Every structure is written in structure tokens, then in C-alpha cells.
Amino acid sequence: MHSVKKEHGDLFLLSVVIVLLIFGVLMVYSASSFRGEEKYGDSATFLKSHVIRVVLGFLCLLIFSRIDYTRLRWVTPLMLLMLLGLLVIVLSGQEINGSRRTFLLFGKRLQPSEFMKLVLIFYIAALFAKGKESPVFQSKNLLVQFAFLLGVVGLVFIEPDLGTALVLFFIGVAMFYLGGVAWRQLAKLGLFLVPLVSVGMLIFPYQRQRIMDYWGSLFGTGEMSYQVKQSVIGLAHGGLLGVGYGGGKQKLFFLPEPFSDFILSSVGEELGFIGIVFLFLLLFIILWRGIRIALRAPDRYGYLLAGGITVMILINALMNAGVAINLLPTTGLPFPFLSYGGSSLFTHLIGVGVLINISRKRVMPYKEYTFAKARNSRWSRAS
């Protein structure tokens, strides 16, 4: 028999996230100061915007760390419908850098597909919360839910946004697995992704060319894309100890997006291999705490939420790092908690807030529960 014990939340996780946010602020300023000065006459232009986003995102973290995570289960359908509508609306919006991913809200651009990562986790966690007793495990129902996942992935893919579409797909597959779906079933369902990607490659020759260039660079039949080449140069320039904070050269209009998509290269150039190791050590701690929270969650819904959020952070970090060193095609994904960009930052900080909220409740071990029960019984008899 078990009981649920309330705690203060995972303060260790919160502390590591704060350190990572401060680290990100410092790197965003270093990587963006030159461009801010050249374009706007103010070296702190991008820094100011980023700090505001960090503060607002941290407030979201604190709010979600206090809202009982079980309440998310009942508002998830509304959030899901809203985001599906926004994913359709952005397709008719303004094209920026060859894609339609964002919409304006109070003068700021938001990317619905980033928030969909989190809401998709909420949705699938609710589906599998009842365990094997849930009707969702029936073959037809599983097929319907997987088709829904592919539909969401497809909406993001045709923006076009290959990177976020892949992240959504892998998050969905991981959630299905955590929910109890066997690998064999997932492999069969995964075959439905092949025609979707094939059609997409035909519709968007830019994406097809990007993938072909990537394969060519791997097998020596072509060169790396300009962005990735400059990223690798920056990492190589940094060596073991780096050239020093603020001393990077690739940010001087050589490396595109040095403070967002390719901020990892900026870290490697200025702080070296040691800086990269420090960064991934912080990330590893976050993943460790996320897994720990999932395993100690008081119910299956909390377990699935914590597991899904941890997977989301891991996939985004690995895909961003893979692009930076040419292990993956260029995707345009930011690094969690570090890169300049509001939608991704808000999504990950809200996710951490949910993790902390789950950690505030854990299953009391049997020995601790029986001891507390016996102690309460003695006090009752004494009174």
C-alpha cells in the first residue's frame, strides 16, 4: 500500500536550469553583440530581447510548477484544438526565410509547432494514462491515433519545417513506447511515414536538395552546406580551451544564426571543448532529474508526462548538436534553454515547470508509509 507525499519540488533541477539560462544569456550576448551594433547601433539589442523572454519564460515555469499537473489532463483537448487551428492558419501567413512557421501576437512572432511538442505530450499521456485497460490499445484505435500523429507531423512538414516535424514524430513514437505499445507495432505503424516523406520531398525541392547535399557531404561527393561548414570551422577553431569569451570570429557575419540555431558552435569556439562538456553536463543533469521524477511519479499520467518532457529536451538537444557537427541535415532547431528564440524557450521552461510540479508529489515507500501509519496510530491512542 502506498501514499502520496508532498515535497517542495526538485530544487536541484531548478538550480541547474537557472545556471543554464544564465549561461545562455551570456552566450547570446557574446554571439549577437557585433550584429546588434552593425544593424541597430546597439550591441545589446538582442540581449535585451532575450532577457525579457527568459524572465517571462521563468515566470511560466514558476506558474506551471504550482498548477497541479493533473488539471492539464482536462484542458488538453482545448489546447490541442487551438494549436491545430494555428498550424493551419500559419500556412497562409507571411513567408519568412522560405517557410511559414509563425504568426504575430502583440507584435511578437510565435511558432505554434514549438508549443505543439508539449501539448502532444499532454495528449498522448492522457490517452495511455489508464494503462492496458484503455481502449486505445486496440489495433484500430492505435492506428487512428498514429494517423493523427502523422497528420500533425504533416501540417508542420508542409510549412515547410522538416526539423520540427521530425522532433514531433520522434516525441510521438517515444510516448507510444512509454505508454506500452510494443516496438513491433511501432515499426509497422512507422511504415506510414515513408509515403508522407516521399510526397514531401517531391513537393518541396528545397528540402530534397538539402538532404541530397547532406548525403553528398557525408560520402565525399559534395560539400557541406555553408552554415554547417562555418559551424565546424568555429568548433575546430575553439580547440580544447577556446579562444576566450567574446573572442570568437565566426559570429562576425561568417556563421549564420550564431546566437540561435548554431549557438553551440559559438560556445565551442569561445569556450572550447571544455565549454561544450560543461554544457552537456548541465543537460545530462536535467535528463537525470527528469528520469528520476518520472520513476517517482505518483501515477501513470505523471510518469508519462515526465518521460515525454525529458524525451523532448533530449531530442531537441541531440538534433541541434547533430546539425552543428554535420551528423544531421540542417534543420533550424534551437538548443534547449540556450538559443535565442521565444517559442522554444517558453516550451522548454513550461516543460520544466511541469516536471517540478510532478516532483512535488511522489509515492511514499512502503516502509516509510507503514512507519508513519503506526506513529499516527500511537498518537491517536494516546490522545
Nearest of 157, 156, 52, 64 to residue 108 by alpha carbon: 52
Residue 180 DSSP class? T
Nearest of 136, 159, 147, 129 to residue 308 by alpha carbon: 129
E strand or H helix at 105, and its extent?
A: strand 103-105
pLDDT at residue 60 greater than cutoff 60: yes
CA distance 162 to 192: 17
Q: Per residue in 264-311, pLDDT tens? A: 999 999 999 999 999 999 999 999 999 999 999 989 999 999 999 999
108 three-state secondary structure: strand
More confident residue, 106 or 184: 184
pLDDT score of 375: 66
3-class DSSP string for 251-291? CCCCCCCCCCCCHHHHHHHHHHHHHHHHHHHHHHHHHHHHH
pLDDT score of 173: 92
Q: How confident is the model at residue 190 (pLDDT cuts 50, 70, 90)?
A: confident
**Contacts for 103-108 with beta carbons within 8 Å, 24 or more apart?**
108/342
Q: Residue 178 sits in which domain range? A: 3-382
CA dihedral for 331, 241, 314, 359, sign (positive or negative): negative
pLDDT at residue 379 greater than cutoff 70: no
What distance separates the 2 farthest-apart alpha carbons in the chain? 84
pLDDT at residue 226 greater than cutoff 50: yes
Q: How confident is the model at residue 372 (pLDDT cuts 50, 70, 90)?
A: low
Nearest of 185, 34, 116 to residue 351 by alpha carbon: 116
pLDDT score of 70: 93
Q: How confident is the model at residue 1 (pLDDT cuts 50, 70, 90)?
A: very low
Q: Per residue in 163-176, pLDDT tens? A: 899 899 999 999 99
CA distance 382 to 183: 56
pLDDT score of 363: 65
Whole-Å CA distances, 198 to 149, 188, 204, 287: 17, 17, 10, 34
Q: Per residue in 332-363, pLDDT tens? A: 789 999 999 889 999 999 999 999 999 988 66
How much is the mean pLDDT over the chain?
A: 87
What percent of the chain stands above pLDDT 90?
57
pLDDT score of 6: 59
Mean per-residue pLDDT for 91-111? 77
In the chain, how many domains are there? 1
The pTM of the full predicted model, rounded to 2 decimals, is 0.89
